[in-house]
Structure 1
Amino acid sequence: MSSLENVFYIQAGLGVLANMFLLFFYTFIILGNRPKPMDLISCQLTFIHIMMILTEGDNLLANILESLKSGNDIKCKTTFYINRVMRSLSICITCLLSVVQAVTISPSTSFLAKFKHKVKTHINYVFFCLWTLNLSFSSRLIFFVAGFMNVSETHQMKVTKSCSFFSMNYIFRGLTFLVTMSRDIFLVGVMLTTSTYMVIILCRHQRQCKHLHSIRHLRASPEKRATQTILLLVVFFVVIYWVDFIISFTSVLLWIYDPVFLTVQKFVMFVYPTVTPLVQISSDKRIISILKKLHSNCH
């Protein structure tokens, strides 16, 4: 298991470094120019992914809190709460990324075109609402997470090496599950709908460009590259989300602590926030040009 833990730490380190690079890049863009909505959303998503990696299981933030001599109960509540908030925000912000890109590339004759100018003026209000809702909704978890006390206790389920999750009232657990599932199904549905819409727009654009013998212009389109990147991220997110959901649902439903389940879930949770920045870095021409300049300066 120690070798597998080393793989996780390498994966987490790569994810944090890639996301930190992106966070500095987007912060520089936001402070230096008039930022585009997509830059603001990507900056938020990058920060969320950093926090997700740092708070997943017995990870870096937990070790920092432990070094500060904070109680195990405080450590568990803090890391578990932040991680759940970030996981909820991840699906919300990824959905927002997909919606805003669909609005951005929509033709001037479409229904979505009238929302283009509203996106720029209302994006900060959307961020405020998403953060407020997720911070509030996940606050209930503080009362059901604590430092692991006794393996023989049947009313608690071990979720990390030192943290446990206490069983909820069946009605409360059912309502929470129903609300969470309804939200996630809605957001995934929106992502798939906007992704389908973007594919239709790209295919239509492809046919028009073939008709006009201007394939070179289509290939050079920054909007097309950005759309393809977001489509890839959305599809990847949906796959990872459902794998994680099946693992989480099975463990909660059976109310069992299975190290194999937790190990697989930890690996799955690290995949999306680690792969996402690498995809964004490799597809953003602004970043590629900066890296090329740095490489030429070094030589």
Structure 2
Amino acid sequence: MISDGIALGLLFLFQTGFGALGNSFLLGLYTITFFTGPRLRPIDLLLCHLAFANDLVLLSKGIPQIMATLGLTNFLDDVGCKLVFYFHRVARDLSLCTTCLLSSFQAFTLSPRSSWWENFKARSPKYIVPLFLSCWTFNLLKNCLILLYMKGPKGSNNITGINDFIYCSATFHVSPYILLYILLFSLPDVLYVGIMVGTSGYIVFVLYRHHQRVQYLHGNSLKPNGFPEARATQTVLLLIILFVSFYCLNSILLLCIRYGKTFSWLVHSSAFLAACFPACSSFVLIVSDSQVQKYSLALWEKMMLQF
């Protein structure tokens, strides 16, 4: 009979490997297409960056979690714990920031010509790279305090205000300054999620209105799910529902870990939920984005011509 530790290890191994495979495929596809294939769309830069950030999230969280579930709880020292949690948090915030930019860029792209942001829409591709640099700079600075509070699993025993993450720990002494920092720390996340919900709702509204306008052209020969607008709407809804659901559930578990008694199942559940969106989002895009399929087909044809 398989032990609980081995079962959890296999679960995290499958999640990390499955997600890393999908994100690495997208990252490699966009990179190869950039150098050898057709010209990429501006939105492809966002998708490529999202795939890279999601790969960092999965590797920085999945590999340590796999080792911890197999009983290896002392494989990191203080410096290792600081770096692992710091880069995971930076990668996680980059994924959140990029998803927000992707949702906003889609809203700009689909906005009607009569919209007030038509002029901005024409210039928006020029802002993508500066926005990437801003996201990196902001998130690298924002998470610096993690380097102070994260500790190794050994040197933190018998300390009050400790949060145990199985293979690492953190000391958070409750004080007005810490509470203020946590509040300020959470504000960008709330803002990103709010923007994503708002822009996604706007995208659904635009697609629905467009569907109503062209419905008479389709006639009654197609099912509702067969309309291109309906498929695009379902993709947007699926991405936003996946992200917001996993984000909210993981945030609740993190609050329980930080302010309540820590249980190993809470830590494992939080780690699993934190990696669900990075693991699933790449395959949602691969299946739903026809341009990804076009790039894949062009790359396959070039490979076949070389043999």
- Asked if Structure 1 and Structure 2 have the same fold, meaning a TM-score greater than 0.5 normalized by the shorter chain, the answer is yes
**For 1:1-299, what aligned pairs fall within 5 Å after superposition?**
1=4, 2-32=6-36, 33-56=38-61, 59=64, 72-149=77-154, 150-161=156-167, 163-168=168-173, 170-213=175-218, 228-254=234-260, 256-289=261-294, 290=296, 294=300
Runs of 4+ in 1 over 6 A off after TM superposition: 60-63
- Shift of the alpha carbon at 1:44? 0.7
1:66 matched residue in structure 2? none
- Hey, what's the Cα distance between the residues in 2 that align with 1:7 and 1:213? 45
Q: CA contact under 8 A between 1:101 and 1:227: conserved in structure 2? A: no
TM-score, reference length from structure 1: 0.86
- Shift of the alpha carbon at 1:251? 1.3
Q: CA contact under 8 A between 2:100 and 2:192: conserved in structure 1? A: yes
- Shift of the alpha carbon at 1:288? 3.1
- Hey, what's the Cα distance between the residues in 1 that align with 2:231 and 2:47? 15
- Shift of the alpha carbon at 1:58? 5.3
Q: CA contact under 8 A between 2:9 and 2:67: conserved in structure 1? A: no
TM-score, reference length from structure 2: 0.84
- Hey, what's the Cα distance between the residues in 2 that align with 1:233 and 1:287? 16
Secondary structure, counterpart of 1:139 in structure 2:
coil
- Shift of the alpha carbon at 1:230? 3.4
- Shift of the alpha carbon at 1:220? 7.5
- Hey, what's the Cα distance between the residues in 2 that align with 1:210 and 1:225? 14
- Shift of the alpha carbon at 1:18? 1.1
- Hey, what's the Cα distance between the residues in 2 that align with 1:151 and 1:159? 13
Equivalenced residues, count: 287
CA RMSD of aligned residues (A): 2.9
Secondary structure, counterpart of 2:158 in structure 1:
coil
Stretches of structure 1 that go unaligned for 5 or more consecutive residues are 64-69
- Shift of the alpha carbon at 1:117? 1.6
